[in-house]
Amino acid sequence: MEDMIFYDRLQFAFTITFHYIFPQLTMGLSLLIVYFKWRYLRNKIEKYNDAAKFFMKIFAINFTMGVVTGIPMEFQFGTNWAKFSELTGGIIGQTLAMEGMFSFFLESSFLALFIFGEKLMGQKLHLLTGFLVFLGSWASGWFILATNAWMQHPVGYEILDNGKFVLENFSALFGNPWLLPAFLHNQLASVVTSSFVVASIGAFYILREKQTEYGKLFLKTGVIFGLVSSVLVAFPTGDWNAKNVAQYQPAAFAAMEGIFETEHAGAEIVLIGQPNMVEKKLDNKIAVPNILSFLTYQEWHKQIPGMDKFKKEELPDNIPALYYSYHIMVGLGTVFMGIMALAVFFLWRKKLYQAKALLWTIMFLVPFPYIANLTGWYVAELGRQPYLVYGLLRTVDGISPTVSSGNTLFTLLGFVALYMLLGLLFLVLVGKTINQGPKPQTH
């Protein structure tokens, strides 16, 4: 049983991590594509249209990767988490089926039209298809977050005698207090990733001194979108989510903030420190008193329950991983705001395109928003442990009763091998597209 659940979780973690590299770019990028295309309609400057089409190419590669790595996600609910699917399918099946129906079809149909149909449709319809691609990809995020929000904070259900969850109130699934903050936070985080990608490609073109006109456009757009989104991702949406966790999952809140012992009045905020699970304290801690209470409740001396207030079986099972994920996410988010604010300041002073050191930094910063997005999801998923449906269905009770750990290890190894190949090909392809740029030399 122990190793069964271990391999099931590892396989899900691995495949979802790899999968989420792609949608987090496409969701944000579709917004920037619509922006470029809209600007082109307003100002008729050709390079805006080229930018929209160039990034739609990058989008298409990521979309393909998202589709082929996304199908295994949907299948895995049934293959590895059969008991969970059986018990909750009547509820999360709704939101997952709606995702297929309302977002994938929209996205895939109009992506093809955007790429192939510009001449046939004319500019206004072309903008509209771009907008529909954006709508499809954000709808996809909405339905996935609705599914996850129900697992984090179940609403609108009834539990039958045989343990099955049945739907009692459909609209409650979308009025879930967990959903809107999580959705906005997630979507803005994906705008951060794509802004960094756009800015990074721009910095690359400027530093390489080829297609620099596009480089400047990409960089300018990227840093402005990047600053706005990285501020909004922290405040108000990140803050709003943290308050939700404090309210609905206090055990997870204590663990992610690294509060081992409840303080009498006013919880400190931990900046640095390593959880020591033997002595139940943080090693090498640097913390600021009372700030956490203030951020969470706007009261300097409000008590926040530490991990000592919860039974062991209510606490997340991997506290250090949760703590690090949260601190990496927050730390990186802070760095992003700083870099982007600096870049926008240079842009305003008309020095950005000559600021070599900053351009190099922006160019090489591109993996980090991906890391911040993924660690953000780890916070949500590790924080929900030891439950699949918070407070109601334990993770250990959700796995497939008939699939042995040997089988799961076999498929996990297969996925690792296949995804390494896939990742390599993806990099080659994206690298080639970026290298060619919006105006390829040949043709």
Partner 1 sequence: METFWFIIIAIVLAVFFILDGYDFGAGIIHLFLAKTENDKELIAKSAGLFWDSNEVWLVAAGGMLFMAFPTFYASVFSGFYLPLIIVLWLIIFRAIGLEFRGQFHFQMWKDIWDKSFGVSSLLLALFFGIALGNIVRGVNLGGVENGVSIYEGHYFFLPLWDSSFSPLSETPGIIDWFTIIIGLISVVTLAIHGANWIILKTNSSINGNLKNVIFKMNIALAALTLFSLAVWKTVSPNSLDNFAHKPYLLIFPIIYLTGLVGLFFIKKLKKDIHGFVLSSLLILGGITSSLASLFPVILPSVNSINGPLTIYNTASSEYGLSVALNWGIIGFILLFVYMIIQKRLMGGKVDKMDYGH
Q: Which residue has the tokens 């739609």?
A: 56
Q: Which of 5, 34, 51, 96 binds partner 1 (CB under 8 A)?
A: 96
CA distance 408 to 281: 36
Q: Which of 45, 71, 272, 277 binds partner 1 (CB under 8 A)?
A: 71
Q: Does 70 bind partner 1 (CB under 8 A)?
A: yes
**CB of residue 85 to partner 1, shortest distance in Å:** 4
Residue 399 CA: distances (Å) to CA of 91, 164, 255, 389? 18, 15, 25, 13
| Cβ nearer to partner 1, comparing 57 with 243 | 57
Q: Which of 13, 14, 17, 85 binds partner 1 (CB under 8 A)?
A: 85
Query: Do 44 and 433 contact (CB within 8 A), yes or no?
Result: no
CA distance 293 to 299: 6
**CB of residue 297 to partner 1, shortest distance in Å:** 38
Q: How many chain residues are in contact with partner 1, going by CB under 8 A?
A: 65
Listing DSSP states for 320-386 in one string gives HHHHHHHHHHHHHHHHHHHHHHHHHHHHHTT-GGG-HHHHHHHHHTTHHHHHHHHHHHHHHHHHHTT
Radius of gyration of the chain measured on its C-alpha atoms: 23
Residue 81 CA: distances (Å) to CA of 12, 13, 74, 394? 10, 13, 11, 12
Q: Does 393 bind partner 1 (CB under 8 A)?
A: no
**CB of residue 151 to partner 1, shortest distance in Å:** 14
| Cβ nearer to partner 1, comparing 78 with 289 | 78
What are the tokens at 66?
A: 């998202």
| Cβ nearer to partner 1, comparing 94 with 303 | 94
Separation of CA 239 from chain center: 16
Q: Which of 264, 350, 401, 441 binds partner 1 (CB under 8 A)?
A: 401
Stretch of residues binding partner 1 (CB under 8 A), selected from 36-44, 47-55, 110-118, 311-319: 110-118
| Cβ nearer to partner 1, comparing 66 with 376 | 66
| Cβ nearer to partner 1, comparing 102 with 346 | 102
Stretch of residues binding partner 1 (CB under 8 A), selected from 60-68, 293-301, 346-354, 384-392: 60-68
Restricting to residues 146-185, which ones interact with partner 1 according to CB under 8 A?
166-168, 170
Query: Do 2 and 407 contact (CB within 8 A), yes or no?
Result: no
Query: Do 228 and 187 contact (CB within 8 A), yes or no?
Result: no
**CB of residue 418 to partner 1, shortest distance in Å:** 6
Q: Does 309 bind partner 1 (CB under 8 A)?
A: no
Q: Which of 91, 201, 330, 363 binds partner 1 (CB under 8 A)?
A: 91
Angle between helices 239-248 and 250-257 (to 10 degrees): 120
Q: Does 290 bind partner 1 (CB under 8 A)?
A: no
Q: Which of 90, 236, 273, 386 binds partner 1 (CB under 8 A)?
A: 90
| Cβ nearer to partner 1, comparing 32 with 113 | 113
Stretch of residues binding partner 1 (CB under 8 A), selected from 18-26, 91-99, 211-219, 338-346: 91-99
**CB of residue 5 to partner 1, shortest distance in Å:** 14
Q: Does 429 bind partner 1 (CB under 8 A)?
A: yes
**CB of residue 110 to partner 1, shortest distance in Å:** 8
Q: Does 97 bind partner 1 (CB under 8 A)?
A: yes
CA distance 43 to 51: 14
DSSP 8-class letter at 312: G
Stretch of residues binding partner 1 (CB under 8 A), selected from 116-124, 213-221, 251-259, 306-314: 116-124
Q: Which of 6, 75, 235, 360 binds partner 1 (CB under 8 A)?
A: 75
* Pairing state between β 165-167 and 157-159: antiparallel
CA distance 219 to 222: 5
Closest CA to 89 of 9, 166, 4: 166
Which of helix, strand or coil describes residue 393?
strand
CA distance 83 to 401: 7
Q: Does 205 bind partner 1 (CB under 8 A)?
A: no
Query: Do 144 and 186 contact (CB within 8 A), yes or no?
Result: no
Q: Which of 106, 144, 217, 374 binds partner 1 (CB under 8 A)?
A: 106
Using CB under 8 A, list all residues that contact partner 1: 61, 63-64, 67-72, 74-75, 77-80, 82-83, 85-94, 96-102, 104-106, 108-110, 112-113, 116-117, 120-121, 166-168, 170, 400-403, 407, 410-411, 414, 418, 421-422, 425, 428-429, 432
